[in-house]
Amino acid sequence: MPELPEVETILRTLKPKVLGRTIERVEVLLNKVIREPDAEQFVKDTSGRALIGVERRGKYLLFKLTGSLVMVVHLRMTGRLLYVAPDLPRDQYTHVVFYLDNGKELRFHDMRRFGTIDLIPAGRLKTFHSLNKLGPDALDPSLTRDVFKKRLKGRTGQIKKILLDQTFITGIGNIYANEILWKARIHPERSAASLTPRDLGRLYHAMREVLMTAIDHRGTTIRDYVDGEGKPGSFQELLAVHGRENQPCPLCGNSIVRVKNGGRSAYFCPSCQK
């Protein structure tokens, strides 16, 4: 699933290409991708409108259109947004095509078909059900170390599950939760209530460092992810623990362990992470 660094990279590759462009027409090839309004109305409401802004909230992309409309895109597991030439062959996983006024196409592609697109009035952004419960973005400048500590205060669950909770902080998924906790030297099953002020400081700085480094490397490509130009990321080459069961820890050389944690795989070093 594209997490914060991947969605940010998609934003950075698409924004200079689509900003100011007009959507001349839209073709919906899989109706269920469009949640609101229905697909027919979506085509009518987006055709002829210009793209005047592109933003990210956690794992969501927001495309602002003229007429005070916002297109909310969630890529889910395998979704892609690709800026391509019209002669590039399509496959069966291309579900929505936006035809732009410069002759290019913006294609929504999704092998697993879990991704979604909503079109809503800009005035509904604060109350829109997919966005209104999100916590602060993990890289929001207003999320200082002190704010981070205050948000964790009183929470007693396992720290990895809390990092994955999008109402606590938005943008972190399984890959980066594993990497952040290794960087902070914290066991994924440790109770948040047991973390010392020093632990919390390390966790906060590990979160920022891992996510920003991943953005610098254009995200992590393990299977499906590519950016808006169809290029893979390279952060997978720097992964310390995720996907590295039984391989040596980069810090101590002992074997990385994998356990099931909340239905997901937690990778960690039992020697370094306490």
Q: Could you list the active site residues?
A: 2-3, 59, 264
Structural contact between residues 54 and 94, judged by C-beta atoms closer than 8 angstroms? no
Report the alpha-carbon distance of residue 180 to residue 205 in Å, rounded.
9
- Phi, psi of 67, deg, nearest 5: 85, 15
Q: Identify the three-state secondary structure at position 36.
A: strand
74 CA to centre of own chain? 8
Structural contact between residues 254 and 247, judged by C-beta atoms closer than 8 angstroms? no
Report the alpha-carbon distance of residue 67 to residue 131 in Å, rounded.
21
The H or E element containing residue 152 is helix 145-152
Sheet with 79-84, strands from edge to edge, namely 23-28, 94-100, 105-110, 79-84
Of 24, 42, 3, 40, nearest in space to 177 by CA: 3
Of 176, 264, 248, nearest in space to 256 by CA: 248
DSSP 22: B
